[in-house]
Amino acid sequence: MKISIERAVLLKAVGQAQSVVERRNTIPILANVLIEADGADVTFRATDLDIEVVDKVPAMVERAGATTVNAVMLHEIVRKLPDGATVSLSSDDATGRLSIEAGRSSFSLATLPKEDFPVMASSEYTANFSAAAPVLRRLFDKSKFAISTEETRYYLNGVYLHVSEAEGGRVLRAVATDGHRLARVDADLPPGAEEMPGVIVPRKTVGELRKLLDDDEAQIAVSVSETKVRFATPGITLTSKVIDGTFPDYTRVIPTGNTKKMEVDAQEFAKAVDRVATVSSERSRAVKLQLDEDKLVLSVNAPDAGAAEEELVVAYGDDRLEIGFNAKYLLEIASQVDRENAVFMFNSSGEPALMREGNDTSAIYVVMPMRV
């Protein structure tokens, strides 16, 4: 195999590949990226046996062929090469080496036979549809902060993507929760997605998928089956196994009877919470909210560290209320608000609070209170 390729194109492709590769693995071939040159394209393929990413880029192919080389090492080399360089890659099966040349630099890396590289088995997908990148970006970006990191409740270690009923008809919905907070985000149901089975997309897949969604003009081809999900742009295909488990009935924890309404500027609220939380103890990070007519007092009292208090002007016309929350959770949900004010709906100091953006019910957040 012998190819010439621009550094910027190579860096992007290898960067995508090396982030999928697991740093700590016992199977040497899984640390490698499979490079296949054919026609006028080069394909870079990497996998950790749960996720597979395939990136197809244009290159000058002098001699077709394929080899595998350490993904992290290749990425580091390409990253350190000068901008605008043309990189030449050539593999020699006899010596088992891949030569990398750019300008006056030359490297020789050990390779492993391409036959050893595991290729994810293809599967039949029950639903195939197309969605705009900004739509998927909003679904995952606004929900991923609530993904659980607890390994024991593995079925919460991802975003539950499914078709659901909403007030205006059927929607494509993303839900994530860790038991302390919950995010539920809706988008219009794309044509072809009606028969989609509900799947739990793993946390790592959500992170990798995010890199495909930066281009606002891109259309993403989505394919879903009971065991796998695939996201494809014209150049990159990301295939992932889904979490084998049942996502809990999240509708039970979304409060419907909360009537006490507070409206506040989300950015001002987040900054104030951040300021008072500075003195809170690392373990609890509890912030108390005292609500009175059109006034919110945020306070923290940490006996070993000190105390803090800040007053905010809010729109609130209900009974006096005192309620405590984890500061980190409040900051995370407040940062999801893009345009309008944050609207919080409370019931009592011991019941979960609901937050949305203005009157928009397509994205709602639930956060559990804590005793303060």
181-216 per-position pLDDT tens digit:
999 999 999 999 999 999 999 999 999 999 999 989
231: β partners: 222, 238
Per-residue confidence band for 25, with pLDDT thresholds at 50, 70 and 90: confident
Q: What is the pLDDT of residue 93?
A: 87
Backbone angles phi, psi at 242, to 5 degrees: -100, 165
Q: Is the pLDDT of residue 295 over 90?
A: yes
- Beta-strand relationship, 105-112 and 65-70: antiparallel
Percentage helix, strand, coil for the chain under 3-state DSSP, each rounded to 5:
20, 45, 35
> In this structure, are residues 270 and 328 in contact, taking their beta carbons and an 8 Å threshold?
no
Q: How far apart are CA 275 and CA 308, in angstroms?
A: 8
Per-residue confidence band for 262, with pLDDT thresholds at 50, 70 and 90: very high
Residue 84 has a CB neighbour count (10 Å cut-off) of: 9
Helix or strand (DSSP H, E) at 138 = helix 133-141
Q: Is the pLDDT of residue 23 over 90?
A: no
Q: How far apart are CA 113 and CA 93, in angstroms?
A: 8
Q: Is the pLDDT of residue 284 over 80?
A: no
* Residue range 47-54: mean pLDDT, rounded: 96
pTM: 0.93
The dihedral sign for the CA sequence 338, 366, 280, 306: positive
Residue with tokens 């640390």: 31
